[in-house]
Structure 1
Amino acid sequence: MVILNWNGQDFLRRFLPSVLAYSDGATVFVADNASTDDSVAMLEQEFPQVRVIRLAHNLGFCKGYNAALDDVRWTGPLTNAPKNPRPQAARGQDWTDTFGFRYYVLLNSDVEVTPSWLRPQRELLEQRPQIAACQPKIRQYSRNETERQLLEYAGAGGGYLDRLGYPFCRGRLFDTLETDQGQYNDARPVAWATGACMLVRATAWHQLGGLEPRFFAHMEEIDLCWRLQNAGFEVWYQGVSMVYHVGGGTLHKSNPRKTFLNFRNGLALVYMNTHGSELLGTVTTRLLLDWVAALRLLTQGNTPEFRAILRAHWQFWRQLAYWRQRRQKFPPLRRTAERAGLYRGSLVWAYFGKGKKHFSELEPDLLT
């Protein structure tokens, strides 16, 4: 289990005790992204059982996790492993199962876990070898008991995509959150599992090269899960497991930097992963809808976020050669209708045009 940390000393002190108490003996690493708030000193003093990986620079979410799990891959849980277990693997041979862990958990520092939260997910992966990634139910963290019943923005009851690649969750359409009443206590395949709390098969992670490094943060887990499905794996949600997530601990949703990342990464996401027969129409429609959103922000006087969208488009086109290279390396083999966790309509039109505010209101025949 790896918790990526950047100046999250308070979160670590608050939530690490539950992680250590309820994670069935999992080995816990904290990968520190060059924090300046004495996080490492606090960990060494208050949580000596946690293994600390010190990253020299703030690599962001994507590169930070890639670097940390590359390090963990060769560390492993084995006490009799060689001190420098980095042998030259033969072609086609994967050394992960020899020296490392079978599964990784990517866990945000602002997540509170519950008793036995990890076991049902691990059992699901052990029962179904084709599953590469899984997430638990995500509720909103709060000290208010009523608010703790709300499903949380980042993952809720499992990730879906509409036909244009817009992400949403069961239990969360845009900013409308549902109260958890057990309606998502099932286990089922989904389009994506949240990066706030994701269990992933180690061999699949390394086969796909981890998270997209150019994304820095935001939508990186959706890209990974999309690539996993294109490679023949499945992504699941396990509603028997549950955690609580603070959310927005690094960038508030109205931060122009977050707007830039969401719009730039959203375009790159659909460009890299949409099947060739659907690519032109999907990207063109997304560009037009982005302009609608940008002009709406401008008319509201929100110039910083308007400029963030313009900059996102500029960066997308400027880096098009790179996105094309990544698309060729991980070719999108599955058409839209062949993926799990799909809404074959437009979520934007359903929510804003038809007033459908809850997942249960979406047309069942358009859901996979």
Structure 2
Amino acid sequence: MEQLPKVAIVILNWNGLKYLQEFLPSVMSSQWDNLDVIVGDNGSTDASVEYISQNYPGIRIILNGENYGFTGGYNKVLAQVDADYYILLNSDVQVYPGWIKPVIDLMESDPLIAVAAPKIKSYQQKDHFEHAGAAGGFIDSFGYPFCRGRIFYQIEEDRGQYEQSDEVFWASGAAMFIKKKCWDEAHGFDDRFFAHMEEIDLCWRLKNKGYKVMYCAQSEVFHLGGGTLNTENPFKTYLNFRNNLLLLQKNLPFWRALVVITARYFMDLLAIFRFLTEGKRKDAWAVSLAHQNFVRHMFKTGHRDIDPKHNQNGMYRGCLVWDFFVKKKHTFSQLDKGKFYK
């Protein structure tokens, strides 16, 4: 009998004791005969490590010693993990026993599939998609990420409208399956991102190498979300805007990046104005700081020749801001299908 691929579920933890207590039981019920469960700890001070040691002796614990963020934390942990497939799983995700097999079967079907993700739904509202991933990630011409099932803050109810597994642009880091050889080839996450959009950058870099990113509709998980940085945190606003600019600079051909980043400068000015009108002065300042940091460090990312004919499947040749706020297209199905690269 042929041996199943070795799979490692790797959870990165930082002071997430309450999430481990709530969600680890479902993770430990995962069905796969060749499976390791690993928790990498980013210097927690809340007895997380002690809890795992006492209650789950079968879980391997890797200690980072301090908080290296999502990117640095995973890079350090996965350098010590041997498996055919990594599953990067947030500590606040509920899974069901058979959730692994459909995704691995899909990835085994094509050597060009590097990354895949299940359907990600809300833990608090289980008939709705969840912000971080939903039914697969996409990106527009100006670098705005969105999902089937979620555009900006508009989240759809799951009515069975996205039951077809398909190629997408990015897979959420909340529940990301990735082949180890592809992780190694891409050298993992970019440490500069710290957290937020690092998975989009990783997927984009792999697509620039000719690999595919997939959404698997036959598997679903439930994500609580906002466990480390909630949506009202100005630091999250800073990371999202700064990392988005870095994402564009790294992965677009030089002249295209120059045009798009220039356009984004003016579009982000509108975001600053919107935050100010809503009384969110700290978020407005966070957007400004994001641009300042990007400008100060932009020349540290050396120019690389990128083939403009790279795998663009999942990119939307339109302006999501215009479609959403002006044309009132609030769901994925309302977007012009002819504007998606295939």
CA spacing shift, 1:273–1:178, aligned 2, 3 Å: same
Instruction: Give the Cα separation in 1 of the matches to 2:31 and 2:116.
Output: 15
Contact 1:31–1:68 (8 Å) recurs in 2:
yes
Instruction: Give the Cα separation in 2 of the matches to 1:141 and 1:260.
Output: 26
Q: 1:191-227 deviations in whole A, cap 9, x for unaligned? A: 0000000000101101111001000000000000000
Contact 1:156–1:172 (8 Å) recurs in 2:
yes
Aligned residue number for residue 313 of structure 2: 340
- After TM superposition, the score normalised by the length of structure 2 is 0.95
Flag as ranges the 4+ runs of structure 1 deviating above 3 A: none
Aligned residue number for residue 34 of structure 1: 43
Deviates more, 1:225-234 or 1:175-184: 175-184
Instruction: Give the Cα separation in 1 of the matches to 2:31 and 2:150.
Output: 27
1:138 aligns with 2:120: yes
Aligned residue number for residue 87 of structure 1: none
Instruction: Give the Cα separation in 2 of the matches to 1:191 and 1:108.
Output: 20
1:16 aligns with 2:32: no
Contact 1:275–1:335 (8 Å) recurs in 2:
no
Aligned residue number for residue 43 of structure 1: 52
1:67 aligns with 2:40: no
For residue 223 of structure 2, the aligned residue among 245, 258, 276 is 245
3-state SS, counterpart of residue 283 of structure 2: helix
Contact 1:274–1:335 (8 Å) recurs in 2:
no
How many residue pairs get aligned? The number is 332
Aligned residue number for residue 194 of structure 1: 172
3-state SS, counterpart of residue 80 of structure 2: helix
Contact 2:29–2:96 (8 Å) recurs in 1:
no
3-state SS, counterpart of residue 333 of structure 1: coil
1:285-300 superposed matches below 5 A: 285-300=263-278
What's the offset of the Cα at 1:299?
3.0
1:105 aligns with 2:83: no
CA spacing shift, 1:152–1:141, aligned 2, 3 Å: same
Instruction: Give the Cα separation in 1 of the matches to 2:97 and 2:308.
Output: 37
CA spacing shift, 1:175–1:216, aligned 2, 3 Å: same
For residue 359 of structure 1, the aligned residue among 327, 332, 336 is 332
Q: 1:23-45 deviations in whole A, cap 9, x for unaligned? A: 41420000001001000000000
1:83-98 superposed matches below 5 A: none
For residue 250 of structure 2, the aligned residue among 266, 272, 279 is 272
What's the offset of the Cα at 1:3?
0.1
Instruction: Give the Cα separation in 1 of the matches to 2:76 and 2:233.
Output: 27
Q: 1:236-288 deviations in whole A, cap 9, x for unaligned? A: 00010100000011111121000000000011101111123422211111111
Aligned residue number for residue 131 of structure 2: 153
Instruction: Give the Cα separation in 2 of the matches to 1:340 and 1:117.
Output: 25
Aligned residue number for residue 323 of structure 2: 350
Instruction: Give the Cα separation in 2 of the matches to 1:256 and 1:277.
Output: 31
Q: 1:8-37 deviations in whole A, cap 9, x for unaligned? A: 111111111111112414200000010010
Aligned residue number for residue 123 of structure 1: 105
Amino acid at match of 1:101: A
3-state SS, counterpart of residue 239 of structure 2: helix
Q: Which runs of 5+ in 2 are unaligned?
A: 1-8
Q: Which runs of 5+ in 1 are unaligned?
A: 73-99
Q: 1:67-99 deviations in whole A, cap 9, x for unaligned? A: 000011xxxxxxxxxxxxxxxxxxxxxxxxxxx
Instruction: Give the Cα separation in 1 of the matches to 2:128 and 2:43.
Output: 33
1:223 aligns with 2:231: no
Contact 1:121–1:134 (8 Å) recurs in 2:
yes
Contact 2:23–2:91 (8 Å) recurs in 1:
yes
Q: 1:274-327 deviations in whole A, cap 9, x for unaligned? A: 1234222111111111111112212333211111111111110111122x22x5
Q: Percent identity?
A: 45
Instruction: Give the Cα separation in 2 of the matches to 1:35 and 1:183.
Output: 40
Contact 1:131–1:234 (8 Å) recurs in 2:
yes
- After TM superposition, the score normalised by the length of structure 1 is 0.88
